[in-house]
Structure 1
Amino acid sequence: VQTSLQMKTADGLYINLHEAALVDYSCMHLNLDDKNLIFESWLTPDAKGDKGYMQAPCRSPWRTVIVSDDARDILASKLTLNLNEPCAYEDVSWIKPVKYIGVWWEMISGKSSWAYTDDVYSVKLGETDYSKTKPNGRHAANNDNVKRYIDFASLHGFDQVLVEGWNEGWEDWFGHSKDYVFDFVTPYPDFDLKMLNAYAKAKGVKLMMHHETSASARNYERHLDTAYQFMVDNGYDAVKSGYVGNIIPRGEHHYGQWMNDHYLYAVKKAADYKICVNAHEAVRPTGLCRTYPNLIGNESARGTEYEAFAGNKPFHTTLLPFTRLIGGPMDYTPGIFDTKLSFLQGDHSFVRTTLAKQLALYVTMYSPLQMAADFPENYERHLDAFQFIKDVALDWDDSKYLEAEPGDYITVARKAKGTDNWFVGGITDENPRTSTFALDFLEPGKQYVATLYEDGKDADFEKNPTSYQIKKGIVTAKTRISAKLARSGGFALSLIEATPADRKIIKKWK
């Protein structure tokens, strides 16, 4: 069993098992002794089968147990973070929250391609004459398409645009015909890196780098300094890294001591260049973002991309805050509005939520790194709902867990950092429900403009996922809110301090 493991006893006691400060050690799983019903620590072995190598003086990770008779206490616990060392950097002014869009969902959903050509055998890294290859016509990371995303990001106030598939090597990136695939500096012929970065800068936007390593960690380490310097030279300050595949050196595992050392090495090396890291397919976090805050995000669990494969279950995001997010923020990549993936032909998977639930995830799934993952044209069809994604904060001064039951539902209120504005998100599993809560966390005596985005009366994640309604009114700390959630539905609520002009034209909440 992978940790963080969330359990509940028959008499209502919530028990969470995990580890903290996983440094220079193998990741712990839990092996269940079926006969005696006991969990024992199971450490990921290396290529030789050894659990790890230690040299005194040394320190092993903490084993954590969080227990409460109220599920909200599990979510509110800071135990995992606090068992990590304080921040290792004197200057953290370069580490900033990021709201981004990206050329990503096109490839994940099957609409477009990472690779420039389908002719695998004619491509050799750094030596390919692309004038002699045939473009597949589906390569998403091309100049015109990236410009389109940059324009959309600039128009709507996003910080960065992630572009995957920009660099040579994707034709055989997972084939492992060799121990290296990418050099992290060579763009495809239809991706003008310098022009696009200049174009983005002129629009007030930055491009986010992407490094897919195809799990060839040795190759990545050889290129790290060059790759990070290349980022600095071209205006990048954040990178999404990926580790899909079998680890090279051969026989090592994603969660073994060798790879855990690698993940941290990449983060610490990135800090030398003032670069933030969002690592995908890496080991699930254990609070290390306290010590190394440029580890701004991780995947390390089934994110939105699985909605385009076999699909995540409706309860999935009601459970993740109790499991994966116990160790640190997750780059879940929410915000899919076309949940039926209508641009695809034939039978395919779909996103098992309503549109309103996608909005709520920006609050329930904590991360200072949040992506609006869908295509620009899908947001343009629902700009009134898209407004919440534009408004919602990334960093918080306070969080209140209003309702919670693992695997069933969660309602969270968060206070935007440095303001008196609050945002609330609520989600449910496959069962519809009504969420009712007081706004007593607001400052007494102040008035706020409340904007509620909730499921429509006929909303259903299978039959009518894009049905939603928006309600607005003036509220105070004495107001109670009631929101109806459809099957696998949700709601999002913004609470913005009211101005004198607001109080004149917006009616009191009813």
Structure 2
Amino acid sequence: MKLFILIYAVLFSVIEGNSQELKSPNGDLVMQFSLELNGVPTYKLAYKNKAVIKPSHLGLELKNDEKSLLNSFEISNTETVTFDETWQPVWGETKDIRNHYNELAVELTQIETERKIVIRFRLFNDGLGFRYEFPSQENLVYFVIKEERTQFAMAGDHKAFWIPGDYDSQEYDFTESKLSEIRSLFDTALTDNASQEQYSKTGVQTSLMMKTADGLYINLHEAALVNYSCMNLNLDDENMIFESWLTPDAKGDKGYMQAPCTSPWRTVMVSDDARDILALT
């Protein structure tokens, strides 16, 4: 009986977890990727055993597409790589820059449509970067992004340094408040501008800096923004979950894509010293 329970527990953890774990080179950051029920891509991130990002969903909603790229995935392949190089910039305050990370590339196949995407994670000693990749394939060639559904689920009601989410202007003073206070302070944070367009009373722009109650600094941003809409964030202030909110064109579309192509990197920088975040940016 005990043997049966042990075997069942092992099998259950594999079936339910179906997770891939990635650690930073120094081991301080740990990211886990898994597929939730109905094949929803999900990730979470911890720093020195403290939750940074709670389980958060990944995916994209496509225009005029009943299935989109949100669920019904299975993991068809995974690859891990360790990369370490030092390079010298032509200009800047630092002579040598070390580019050192561990990488996990997860290839997902949507069961019903046989469409493939790759979610590539790179975990550095000071943060996480990930992006969506769309390889060349017959079942996904030209497509329009209706909305990117990348989530960043916060582990608490953190202090945030934010400016209102606005498609047209960044000319605002930063407001310091708890995440739960953004909605009530949003109108106060606005200043008159000839060109401005907000999208939500809980919308904020990146980069977004936060400080947790126990002194951890977290920054949400993006990198390598090429042929893609700029990412803002929208906060579900009941659950403390940020979701990406792309800047639309005049028709409301968020991106015109042709595979093979990639999204920008979504970045989560983490440190217990604010000066480290400044050095990274």
**TM-score, reference length from structure 1:** 0.18
Q: Which has the higher strand share?
A: 2
Quick one: higher RCO (CA 8 Å, sep 6+), 1 or 2?
2
Larger Rg: 1
Structure-2-length-normalised TM-score: 0.29
